[in-house]
Amino acid sequence: MKILVTGGAGFIGSHFVRNVLKHGDIPIVLDNFSTGSLSNIPERVRYYKMDILDNKLEDLLYDEGIDSIVHLAGQTMVDYSLKFPLHDMKQNIEGILHILEAMRKTKVKRIVFSSTAAVYGDVEEVDLPVKENHLVQPMSFYGLSKLTEEKYLEMYHKIFGIDYVVLRFANVYGERQGTKGEGGVISIFAKCFSENRNITVFGDGKQTRDFIYAGDVAEGIYVALQTSNINTVYNLSTQTESSLLDVVNACSAILHKEINPCFELERKGDIYRSMLCNRKAKEGLYWAPKVDLKNGLKRTLAYFLNDER
């Protein structure tokens, strides 16, 4: 199977490309390298320096004989979407439309789309863990644009027969994750440790997240390409709550050093508790996360402290 991976030079894309190679299929990377890095792409993988809005996309799909698309590219920062909603719309909504039109014209029949827990908005604690059929009420233009992309996928399936799988990710972490802007808290902590800097925790540190290792997400994407349970939405998560203090304490144990965070006032808009239900993915994709937080942190810290390049 030949798979086009948009955003394949990015954080999650780099994990997925390696997963595809492990399974013996052929990944083709498309990335504009605005945030991705050439060093994230294995040497034997062919890549195109191209934006998803490029008019040559249709030719690429046809010339390469692409079977399926995994769409990981796009604008991913909440704060940026609030400051620049037009650019967020262009990269995400216009971007998915450009891809779907190219698929329609070249008869590529399946796309796996990376969505986000941000489509759910601020969920009442009584509704945790959040299921896929929960009311969606995004609180940012980013969440709104991702939800709109999901709706376009539904319509293109109904009208043109293009199959899709939407994957709503929990808080993904792991090697090669960015540490600037809205990079994940774990990668930001790891970068601080590697530079012997103090870490900052906003709020009391008891706020929780559902942290999932990028390698498990990559496997979830791959099985979504294979499944017959398509044209639906799945959460990819551990369905486990871990507080920021849990993360700090686990890092302290791994590094054999005392960590004393600097506490600052909580940020407006931050969700206090977050956890996604993964039952549907377990039953529909026959997928389950394999790497627990302790082992995922060991791998991530080793990368940032020893192997980052």
- What 3-state class would DSSP assign to 12? helix
Q: If we measure between CA atoms, which residue out of 41, 55, 157, 175 comes closest to residue 110?
A: 157
Q: If we measure between CA atoms, which residue out of 14, 97, 29, 85 comes closest to residue 60?
A: 29
What per-residue confidence (pLDDT) applies to 48? 99
Q: Are strands 26-31 and 46-49 parallel, antiparallel or unpaired?
A: parallel
What per-residue confidence (pLDDT) applies to 78? 87
**Cα distance between residue 8 and residue 41, in whole Å:** 7
Reply yes or no on whether the pLDDT at 300 is more than 60.
yes
Q: What percent of the chain has pLDDT over 90?
A: 93
Q: Amino acid identity of 270?
A: D
Ranges assigned E (strand) in 72-210: 110-116, 163-169, 171-173, 200-202, 208-209
**Cα distance between residue 159 and residue 170, in whole Å:** 30
Q: What's the whole-number mean pLDDT along residues 23-40?
A: 97
- What 3-state class would DSSP assign to 270? coil
Active-site choice (48, 80, 142, 173): 142
Q: What is the 3-state secondary structure (H, E, C) of 104-118?
A: HHHCCCEEEEEEEHH
Reply yes or no on whether the pLDDT at 267 is more than 90.
no
Reply yes or no on whether the pLDDT at 309 is more than 50.
no
For 222-258, give the DSSP string: HHHHH-S--SEEEEE-----EEHHHHHHHHHHHHTS-
**Domain architecture of the chain: domains with CATH:** 2-170+213-237 (3.40.50.720)
**Cα distance between residue 12 and residue 196, in whole Å:** 26
Q: Compute CA distances 147 → 59, 69, 121, 234, whole Å.
A: 28, 19, 11, 13
Q: If we measure between CA atoms, which residue out of 269, 272, 251 comes closest to residue 260?
A: 251
Type and span of the H or E element at 213 = strand 211-213
Residue 62: band (very low, low, confident or very high) from pLDDT cuts 50, 70, 90: very high
Instruction: Indicate yes or no: pTM above 0.85.
Output: yes
Please provide the average confidence, as pLDDT, over all residues in the chain: 96
**Cα distance between residue 219 and residue 289, in whole Å:** 9
48 is known as an active-site residue: no
